[in-house]
């Protein structure tokens, strides 16, 4: 991304935040940071990599809601705009020299949310997604591989530093149902369209021929259509422990996700299953995934992954 574009984005960001602060009509809940995607800290093992500490921070922030609230007194149909950012990093503790922290995903987003029922909404977004890495030519890649071998590291670790990046348009449909106070169910349909020349990325950086992989393919072959189902049981249980003690289980969450590309629908498919018991007030997620997009560098490779994560509530989390 050019410095010129960065300056434009930064200026726009400051203007937006300033406009939000001086707006007169802002709902109390609109001035609070909220979780966007789940914030997690855990352990991940991909079958093509060594294990690493995996952590993700994801937030959304409302802006211009005062203006929208004022306008909706007359128009009543304007969606509310948000800025969102999701970042994922992996730290290789004890498995690589110097225990590096490697960027895996950086995902800033501007989206407009239209809520048409209490728990239902549709989002329209423009987003950029990249891994923040720097290798984009074969010569630099080969030099980096040689440096790793000289240092006693594995040459394929250089793959983590190959640059990936896309701009995309997105529409997300959410249907949330509260059947009872103890049962909650939500479904999501997530549609993305990856741009051939984006405002922030320019041309996408994806699989390069010099990577010499028979699995190489474009992002839209493995991503673009996702269906996510969530269920939460809000009920307290007492789990027997040592010496007649009990561990409180304050509910459990389940999630099932399927993702496929829109270029070759259902040809390259990813499945992910999550089970999250809530011990005391701490959700602990156990998950398993098979398919693609294990991280952005290896998006085109079929990988089996599993892990355990603490799901961290940041400010106010969505139900």
What CATH number has the domain bearing residue 267?
2.40.230.10
Give the C-alpha distances (Å, rounded to integers) separating 281 from 98, 233, 241.
34, 14, 18
More confidently predicted of 233 and 17:
233
Residue 318 domain-assigned? Answer: no
Residue 127 domain-assigned? Answer: yes
Residue 317 domain-assigned? Answer: no
* Overall residue count recorded for the chain in this entry: 319
Residue 44 domain-assigned? Answer: yes
User: Looking at the predicted structure, is the pLDDT value of residue 21 above 50?
Assistant: no
pLDDT for 81: 93
Range of the domain at 87: 3-312
Residue 66 domain-assigned? Answer: yes
80-91 vs 269-279, strand pairing mode: unpaired
For the whole model, what pTM was predicted? 0.84
pLDDT for 179: 64
Give the span between the Cα atoms of 124 and 111, in whole angstroms: 5
Average pLDDT score, the chain: 85
Residue 260 domain-assigned? Answer: yes
Residue 234 domain-assigned? Answer: yes
Residue 125 domain-assigned? Answer: yes
Number of folded domains that form the chain: 1
pLDDT for 178: 67
pLDDT for 15: 46
Give the C-alpha distances (Å, rounded to integers) separating 245 from 154, 188, 235, 238, 275.
48, 40, 19, 9, 24
Give the span between the Cα atoms of 88 and 102, in whole angstroms: 9
Share of the chain above pLDDT 90, in %: 54
């Amino acid at each position: 991304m050019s410095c010129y574009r960065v300056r434009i984005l930064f200026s726009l960001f400051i203007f937006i935040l300033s406009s939000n602060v001086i707006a007169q009509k802002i709902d109390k809940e609109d001035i609070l940071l909220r979780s966007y995607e789940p914030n997690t800290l855990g352990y991940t093992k991909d079958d093509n990599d060594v294990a690493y500490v995996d952590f993700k921070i994801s937030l959304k922030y409302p802006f211009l809601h005062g203006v929208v609230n004022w306008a909706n007194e007359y128009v009543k149909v304007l969606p509310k705009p948000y800025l969102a950012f999701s970042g994922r990093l992996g730290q290789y503790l004890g498995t690589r020299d110097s225990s590096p922290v490697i960027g895996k995903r950086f995902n800033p987003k501007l989206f407009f949310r239209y809520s048409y029922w209490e728990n239902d909404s549709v989002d329209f977004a423009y987003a950029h997604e990249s891994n923040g890495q720097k290798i984009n030519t074969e010569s630099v890649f080969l030099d980096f591989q040689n440096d790793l071998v000289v240092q006693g590291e594995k040459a394929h670790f250089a793959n983590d530093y190959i640059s990936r990046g896309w701009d995309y348009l997105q529409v997300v449909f959410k249907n949330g149902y509260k059947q009872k106070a103890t049962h909650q169910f939500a479904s999501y349909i997530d549609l993305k369209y990856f741009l051939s020349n984006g405002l922030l990325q320019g041309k996408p950086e994806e699989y390069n021929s010099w990577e010499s992989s028979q699995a190489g393919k474009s992002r839209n072959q493995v991503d673009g259509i996702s269906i996510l189902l969530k269920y939460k049981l809000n009920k307290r249980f007492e789990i027997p422990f040592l010496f007649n003690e009990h561990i409180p289980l304050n509910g459990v969450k389940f999630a099932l996700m399927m993702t496929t590309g829109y270029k070759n629908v259902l040809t390259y498919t990813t499945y992910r299953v999550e089970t999250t018991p809530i011990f005391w007030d701490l959700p602990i997620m156990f998950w398993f995934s098979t398919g693609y997009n294990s991280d952005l560098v290896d998006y085109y490779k079929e990988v089996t992954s599993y892990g355990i994560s603490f799901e961290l509530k940041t400010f106010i989390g969505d139900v």
